């Protein structure tokens, strides 16, 4: 009963956060510079034509009226149509979001195992050469901006050696190997920072776990070091990274740059295109979808953290 009540509270806070984010998205999108009718019709249109199109689109209504209408439509699954292409906002957003999540999932599948290994090796080799090399390497990777690493990877593996295509968009009907070859470079670019960050977190978590009282007690009792490391310390070292993984699953900020450089039709590029074209319904829908994924991913990570950490379960039982 306590767990159900706490879960209900989390869900309520999630819905409240989502409403606040949606409200903020709407009002920020509405204050974008430029006249929508003028943007769509071009500089040759007369003021009367611009005013007529603004009236058709409903953008000349009071802002509060537009907000109530938009929010009601969003709740009922009607996200409107693109001002530029007349496509359904929801269908385009779902398609582009699926592309970005495919890219992010492939990146995390590559990065997380490598980061776990590197962080563990660094912790077990604390203050030795391997530890210093991994730590310095991780610091260096964090300092490299995404557009720099993307350009370097493109030049080396696409322009010079022709190993991977420069266009990351997966062709229609492509097989799995061909599809992975197209998204490999953007996935690596997206994973560089995540790899460095996860490696540092795993290293610190492993060092703390191996220095804890239960680990020292296990060693004094004669438990093999391998068992102490992998059965006890490793699991506890993973706990701090769970929340970070949730944030990375929902974090599409860096994908705006990566998808633009690699010409990948994802949600990040859609946001940029919609903002440049003053396509307000598409911009609102894309940003709202990203916010929804981010909030749900963090909620899932929070729940998973509580399941994995017995201390939290005991506190809940006491409460």
243 or 227: which carries more pLDDT confidence? Answer: 227
Residue 318 pLDDT level (bands cut at 50, 70, 90): very low
Residues forming CATH 1.10.3720.10 domain(s) in the chain: 89-318
According to the 3-state scheme, what is the secondary structure of 101-135? HHHHHHHHHHHHHHHHHHHHHHHHCCCCHHHHHHH
Asked if residue 92 has pLDDT above 90, the reply is yes
| pLDDT (0 to 100) of residue 285 | 92
Mean confidence (pLDDT) of the chain: 83
Q: Among 90-94, 189-193, 239-243, 294-298, name the one with the lowest average pLDDT.
A: 239-243
Burial of 221 from C-beta contacts in 10 A (0-12 / 13-18 / 19+): exposed
Task: For the chain, give percent helix, strand, coil, nearest 5.
Answer: 80, 0, 20
- The Cα 127–Cα 195 span in angstroms is 20
237 or 251: which carries more pLDDT confidence? Answer: 237
26 or 305: which carries more pLDDT confidence? Answer: 26
Asked if residue 316 has pLDDT above 90, the reply is no
Asked if residue 88 has pLDDT above 80, the reply is yes
- The Cα 213–Cα 216 span in angstroms is 5
Q: At what angle do helices 234-250 and 176-210 cross, to 10 degrees?
A: 130
Question: How many H-runs (helices) and E-runs (strands) does the chain carry?
Answer: 15, 0
At which residue do the structure tokens 């767990």 appear? Answer: 3
**Under 8 Å between Cβ of 249 and 135:** no
| pLDDT (0 to 100) of residue 255 | 79
Asked if residue 44 has pLDDT above 70, the reply is yes
Instruction: For residues 16-44, give the mean pLDDT.
Output: 77
Residues whose CB falls within 8 Å of the CB of residue 308, separated by 6 or more in sequence, listed in order: 235, 238, 239, 242
Instruction: For residues 292-297, give the mean pLDDT.
Output: 84
| pLDDT (0 to 100) of residue 212 | 84
Q: Domain 89-318, what architecture? A: Orthogonal Bundle (1.10)
- Give the pLDDT confidence of 123-172 residue by residue, as tens digits: 999 989 999 999 999 889 888 888 899 999 999 999 899 899 888 888 88
Instruction: For residues 112-118, give the mean pLDDT.
Output: 91
| pTM, rounded to two decimals | 0.81
- Give the pLDDT confidence of 174-193 residue by residue, as tens digits: 788 888 899 999 999 988 88
Q: Point out which residues pair with 29 in neighbouring strands.
A: none
Instruction: For residues 233-248, give the mean pLDDT.
Output: 72
Can you read off the two tokens belonging to residue 214?
């239960």
Instruction: For residues 72-82, give the mean pLDDT.
Output: 90
Percentage, residues of the chain above pLDDT 90: 23
């Amino acid at each position: 009963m306590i767990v159900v009540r706490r879960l209900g509270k989390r869900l309520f806070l999630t819905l409240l956060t989502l409403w606040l984010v949606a409200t903020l998205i709407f009002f920020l999108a509405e204050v974008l510079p430029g006249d929508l009718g003028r943007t769509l019709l071009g500089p040759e249109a007369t003021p009367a034509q611009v005013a007529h199109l603004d009236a058709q689109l409903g953008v000349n209504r009071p802002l509060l009226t537009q907000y109530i209408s938009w929010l009601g439509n969003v709740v009922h699954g009607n996200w409107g149509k693109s001002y530029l292409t007349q496509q359904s906002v929801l269908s385009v957003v779902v398609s582009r979001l699926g592309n970005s999540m495919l890219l992010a999932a492939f990146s995390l599948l590559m990065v997380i195992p490598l980061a776990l290994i590197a962080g563990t090796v660094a912790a077990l080799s604390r203050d030795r050469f391997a530890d210093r090399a991994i730590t310095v390497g991780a610091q260096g990777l964090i300092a490299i901006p995404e557009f720099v690493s993307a350009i370097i990877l493109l030049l080396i593996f696409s322009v010079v050696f022709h190993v991977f295509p420069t266009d990351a968009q997966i062709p229609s009907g492509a097989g799995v190997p061909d599809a992975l070859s197209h998204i490999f470079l953007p996935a690596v670019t997206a994973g560089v920072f995540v790899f460095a960050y996860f490696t540092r977190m795993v290293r610190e978590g492993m060092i703390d776990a191996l220095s804890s009282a239960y680990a020292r007690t296990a060693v004094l009792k004669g438990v093999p070091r391998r068992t102490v490391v992998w059965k006890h310390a490793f699991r506890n070292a993973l706990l701090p990274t769970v929340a970070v993984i949730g944030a990375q699953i929902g974090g599409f900020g860096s994908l705006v740059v990566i998808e633009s450089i690699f010409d990948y039709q994802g949600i990040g590029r859609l946001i940029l295109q919609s903002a440049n074209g003053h396509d307000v319904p598409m911009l609102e829908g894309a940003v709202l979808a990203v916010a929804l994924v981010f909030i749900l991913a963090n909620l899932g990570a929070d729940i998973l953290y509580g399941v994995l950490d017995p201390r939290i379960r005991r506190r809940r039982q006491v409460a």
